């Protein structure tokens, strides 16, 4: 059934593309593609020349029809790429239709009233319950919920979003499955994540990449050069007493200018964006996709990127003078009011290990804060139990340094890539809790592939050097930066860029935003904060940091595809010279008959055969432009050699065979 639906969608896309190909004949569209614009102008000239009687009626009509078809094929190549984008956009639109918001008067006044989602503004507060669609982009400021993001990512598995974490961002049109949340709106109607996605996949906001602009300028210069060459031919022909009709001059010009790549260039750019979206990566511009193909340094935030980010308590390590039961009890009671995933996991581990205790009454719970870097509880009997980083606990118990046993315990935990959390009661240190952060599955193999492609991977983390080294070794990254602050990430990126490297940064937190903005490629995780997604020029809808491997391959594939088809297009022109030039001058200059290598039947047939080949090669290359040339990790020299052999030599030989075959068919048809 799904195959039948897909077939219907493909048929619908082709019908839309055919209609759009005719619409693109309007001047405002043709001016965007100067090469094909000149072919369209030439079509009108040949039509006028034929009707005015400046050339043989049958020959002029055939040339006009072939040129018209050439322009339509080029328009169709761009239109079919855009139609695919519109198909993706239509499914996205369904996610935001007729949404209603339950708006709060304020955080203090929880009175709600329903309004249309389109009326929401930045900083409005909305309440969303289980079973409801989130009406706008925003940040969860209260509560947590599991959310189905299939409307955006295509992934049916629900994800957890929670206030106060790096996974607090939500997207309008996604569905809350459990619990209820308070969301602060971060985007006005029309500027939401879905709105930007729709505009990008439809191609309406597609900016040309630097390479595409440079190639476009080259093609325009070549076209203008050949226009001047062809314009000078009547003067040369009159000197040789040869009369050349306008139809023949237009045919020569169309065969000389790079029409093949000119017709396919827009489709290649659009297809690159579509391939990125198919990989569930939203590229905010075609430039981002292309630059990804050239990066050679990759910086990755550890938490939530290389690891899952939810550290879980896995073991208690008491000091020699302390029983494990005492450490377990102290860790448990100090974490009862701790809302973080780490605190909850400590309570859970203590219970799993057999702790049976009643929650204390009249206890004063101390929440974690950035200045003290500790949390805990003050009990009614005067006990002060704290847990936190080693240096913070040493400061709390007023010790200048850790004793040998405590230092060994901390290093033991850190050397395993886990985070040590020290527990103290009053002035006595009880032991260490081990918090483990799990590395994402398959990440080491993907980092190895990045290394094969010449990309250096650097892990950036706030962990201590021992923990960072253990995680880096397990994940397989090339280098790491420990105890890093946001400004350290920024400094590292700037240093690499000053050394001439193109740098990619992968992150998900608000503290990653400056680095994501500075990097040449900033890949933000969809599970991350709104600030990170705004700062990056790409958003990974699957929140998979190794997705950059796919992004790099897509970027390289786009560069290779454009290079390969440009090589093929220019190589084609060599063969067409041997078809057209002898047809023009062989009668007056018999020596030029030697250039008629293909032994074409007549000048008119030679011109028609070259034009027909010029027209049909465009639709034949559309699948390659849309799918892309297959990418294989290789050096620049190997890549150049492969392209020149397949698309260079092949681009010269194929037209010789095809034009000769078309000529034989024309001889047979016209004889009838």
Beta strand residue intervals within 335-440, DSSP E: 364-366, 374-378, 384-388, 419-425, 428-436
Ramachandran area for residue 628 (φ above 0: left; ψ -120 to 50: alpha; else beta): left
- Would you say residue 259 lies in a domain? yes
Distance CA 344, CA 336 (A): 8
- Residue 153 and residue 44 share a domain: no
User: Best-predicted range by mean pLDDT among 64-68, 177-181, 469-473, 621-625?
Assistant: 64-68
Which residues belong to the annotated binding site? 338, 342, 368-375, 387, 508, 512
Among the ranges given (187-196, 531-540, 599-608, 612-621), the one the predictor scored with the smallest mean pLDDT: 187-196
Q: Which residues touch 555 (CB under 8 Å, ≥6 apart)?
A: 272, 289, 290, 291, 292, 293, 294, 295
- Residue 216 and residue 82 share a domain: yes
Structure tokens that stand for 172 in this block: 């309008």
CB 481 within 8 A of CB 467: no
- Would you say residue 246 lies in a domain? yes
What is the pLDDT, as a whole number, of residue 331?
92
Q: Which one is predicted more confidently, 1 or 434?
A: 434
CB 169 within 8 A of CB 530: yes
**pLDDT confidence of 47, banded at 50, 70, 90?**
very high
- Read off the pLDDT of residues 347-363 as tens digits, 9 standing for 90 and up: 989 999 988 888 888 88
Ramachandran area for residue 179 (φ above 0: left; ψ -120 to 50: alpha; else beta): left
Determine the structural domain holding residue 400 and report its residue range.
308-438
Among the ranges given (326-340, 564-578, 591-605), the one the predictor scored with the smallest mean pLDDT: 591-605
- Residue 462 and residue 401 share a domain: no
**pLDDT confidence of 422, banded at 50, 70, 90?**
very high
User: Taking all residues of the chain, what is their mean pLDDT, rounded to a whole number?
Assistant: 81
Q: Which residues touch 3 (CB under 8 Å, ≥6 apart)?
A: none
CB 561 within 8 A of CB 274: no
- Read off the pLDDT of residues 101-150 as tens digits, 9 standing for 90 and up: 888 888 888 888 888 887 888 889 999 988 888 888 888 888 888 888 76
Strand partners, 524: 507, 539
Given a cut of 70, whether residue 485 has pLDDT beyond it is: yes
Average pLDDT value for residue range 205-218: 69
Tell how far CA 343 is from the center of its chain. Answer: 36
Strand partners, 113: 103
**pLDDT confidence of 672, banded at 50, 70, 90?**
very low
Domain count, the chain: 4
- Would you say residue 434 lies in a domain? yes
- Residue 208 and residue 184 share a domain: no
What is the pLDDT, as a whole number, of residue 584?
67
Pairing relationship of beta strands 159-162 and 138-148 according to DSSP bridges: antiparallel
Average pLDDT value for residue range 17-45: 88
- Would you say residue 339 lies in a domain? yes
Q: Which residues of 377-410 are buried (b: 16+ CB within 10 A; e: fewer)?
A: bebeeeebbbbbbbebbbebeeeeebeeebeebb
- Read off the pLDDT of residues 249-298 as tens digits, 9 standing for 90 and up: 898 888 888 888 888 887 787 777 777 777 778 777 667 777 787 888 98
Strand partners, 390: none
- Looking at 172, 191, 210, the residue that finishes a domain is 191
Q: Which one is predicted more confidently, 460 or 544?
A: 460
Give the CA angle between residues 314, 319, 324 to the nearest 5°: 55
What is the pLDDT, as a whole number, of residue 385?
92
**pLDDT confidence of 467, banded at 50, 70, 90?**
confident
- Looking at 191, 214, 236, the residue that finishes a domain is 191
What is the pLDDT, as a whole number, of residue 230?
85
CA distances in angstroms from 44 to 51, 62, 212, 234, 251, listed in the order given? 11, 13, 28, 20, 12
Radius of gyration of the chain measured on its C-alpha atoms: 33
CB 423 within 8 A of CB 334: yes
- Residue 267 and residue 133 share a domain: no
- Would you say residue 547 lies in a domain? no
Average pLDDT value for residue range 477-482: 88
- Residue 53 and residue 20 share a domain: yes
- Residue 385 and residue 245 share a domain: no
Average pLDDT value for residue range 437-462: 82
Helix, strand or coil, per DSSP, at residue 450: helix
Average pLDDT value for residue range 331-335: 91
Given a cut of 50, whether residue 2 has pLDDT beyond it is: no
- Residue 353 and residue 291 share a domain: no
* CATH, residue 323: 3.40.1110.10
**pLDDT confidence of 328, banded at 50, 70, 90?**
very high
143 CB burial (10 A radius; 0-12, 13-18, 19+): middle
Tell how far CA 110 is from the center of its chain. Answer: 40
CB 180 within 8 A of CB 127: yes
553 CB burial (10 A radius; 0-12, 13-18, 19+): buried
**pLDDT confidence of 93, banded at 50, 70, 90?**
low
- Residue 217 and residue 261 share a domain: yes
- Residue 575 and residue 510 share a domain: no
* CATH, residue 144: 2.70.150.10
CA distances in angstroms from 113 to 89, 122, 136, listed in the order given? 31, 17, 16
pTM given for the model: 0.62
**pLDDT confidence of 100, banded at 50, 70, 90?**
confident
**How many CB atoms neighbour CB 432 within 10 A?**
28
**How many CB atoms neighbour CB 597 within 10 A?**
12
What is the pLDDT, as a whole number, of residue 626?
82
Which residues belong to the annotated binding site for Mg(2+)? 508, 512
Q: Which one is predicted more confidently, 310 or 58?
A: 58
- Looking at 438, 466, 497, the residue that finishes a domain is 438
- Residue 464 and residue 478 share a domain: yes
Catalytic residues: 301
What is the pLDDT, as a whole number, of residue 88?
55
Q: Where are the alpha helices (DSSP H) in 499-649?
A: 513-518, 530-535, 547-585, 603-627, 636-643
């Amino acid at each position: 059934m799904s195959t039948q639906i897909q077939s219907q969608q493909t048929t619908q896309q082709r019908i839309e593309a055919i209609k759009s190909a005719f619409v693109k004949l309007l001047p405002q569209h043709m001016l965007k593609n100067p090469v094909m614009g000149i072919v369209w102008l030439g079509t009108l000239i040949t039509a006028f020349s034929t009707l005015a009687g400046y050339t043989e009626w049958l020959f002029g009509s055939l040339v006009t029809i072939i040129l018209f078809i050439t322009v339509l094929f080029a328009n169709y190549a761009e239109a079919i790429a855009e139609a695919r984008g519109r198909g993706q956009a239509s499914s996205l639109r369904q996610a935001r239709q007729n949404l209603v918001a339950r708006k709060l008067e304020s955080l203090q006044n929880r009175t709600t009233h329903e309004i249309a989602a389109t009326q929401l503004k930045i900083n409005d507060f909305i309440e969303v319950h289980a079973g409801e669609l989130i009406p706008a982009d925003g940040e969860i400021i209260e509560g947590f919920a599991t959310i189905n993001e299939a409307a955006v990512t295509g992934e049916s598995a629900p994800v957890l979003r929670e206030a106060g974490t790096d996974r607090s961002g939500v997207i309008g049109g996604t569905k809350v499955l459990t619990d209820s949340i308070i969301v602060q709106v971060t985007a006005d109607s029309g500027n939401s994540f879905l709105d930007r996605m729709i505009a990008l996949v439809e191609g309406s906001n597609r900016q040309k990449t630097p390479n595409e602009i440079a190639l476009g300028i080259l093609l325009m210069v070549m076209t203008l050069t050949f226009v001047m060459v062809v314009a000078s031919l009547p003067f040369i022909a009159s000197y040789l007493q040869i009369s050349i009709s306008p139809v023949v001059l237009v045919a020569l010009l169309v065969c000389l200018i790079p029409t093949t790549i000119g017709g396919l260039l827009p489709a290649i750019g659009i297809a690159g964006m579509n391939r990125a979206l198919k990989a569930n990566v939203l590229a905010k511009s075609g430039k981002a996709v292309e630059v990804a193909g050239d990066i050679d340094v990759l910086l990755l935030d550890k938490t939530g990127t290389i690891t899952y980010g939810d550290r879980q308590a896995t073991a208690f390590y008491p000091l020699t003078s302390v029983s494990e039961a005492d450490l377990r009890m102290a860790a448990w009671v100090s974490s009862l009011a701790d809302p973080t995933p780490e605190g909850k996991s400590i309570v859970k581990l203590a219970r799993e290990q057999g702790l049976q205790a009643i929650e204390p009454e009249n206890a004063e719970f101390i929440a974690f804060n950035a200045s003290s870097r500790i949390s805990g509880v003050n009990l009614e009997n005067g006990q002060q139990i704290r847990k936190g980083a080693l240096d913070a606990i040493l400061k709390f118990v007023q010790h200048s340094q850790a004793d040998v046993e405590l230092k060994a315990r901390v290093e033991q935990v850190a050397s395993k890539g886990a985070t040590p959390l020290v527990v103290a009661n009053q002035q006595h240190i009880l032991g260490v809790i081990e918090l483990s952060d799990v590395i994402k599955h398959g990440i080491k193999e993907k980092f190895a592939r990045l290394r094969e492609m010449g990309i250096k991977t650097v892990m950036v983390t706030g962990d201590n050097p021992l923990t960072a080294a253990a995680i880096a070794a397990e994940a397989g990254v090339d280098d790491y930066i420990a105890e890093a602050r946001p400004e350290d990430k920024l400094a590292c990126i700037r240093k690499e860029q000053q050394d001439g490297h193109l740098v990619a940064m992968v992150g998900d937190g608000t503290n990653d935003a400056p680095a994501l903005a500075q990097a040449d490629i900033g890949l933000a995780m969809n599970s991350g904060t709104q600030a990170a997604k705004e700062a990056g020029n790409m958003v990974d809808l699957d929140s998979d940091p190794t997705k950059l491997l796919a992004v790099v391959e897509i970027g390289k594939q786009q560069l290779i595809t454009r290079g390969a088809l440009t090589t093929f297009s220019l190589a084609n022109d060599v063969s067409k010279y041997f078809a057209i030039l002898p047809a023009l001058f062989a009668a007056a200059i018999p020596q030029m008959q030697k250039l008629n290598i293909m032994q074409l039947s007549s000048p008119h047939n030679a011109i028609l055969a070259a034009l027909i080949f010029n027209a049909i090669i465009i639709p034949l290359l559309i699948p390659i432009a849309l799918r892309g040339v297959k990418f294989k990790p290789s050096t620049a020299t190997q890549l150049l050699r492969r392209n020149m052999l397949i698309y260079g030599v092949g681009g010269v030989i194929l037209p010789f065979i095809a034009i000769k075959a078309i000529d034989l068919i024309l001889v047979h048809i016209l004889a009838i």
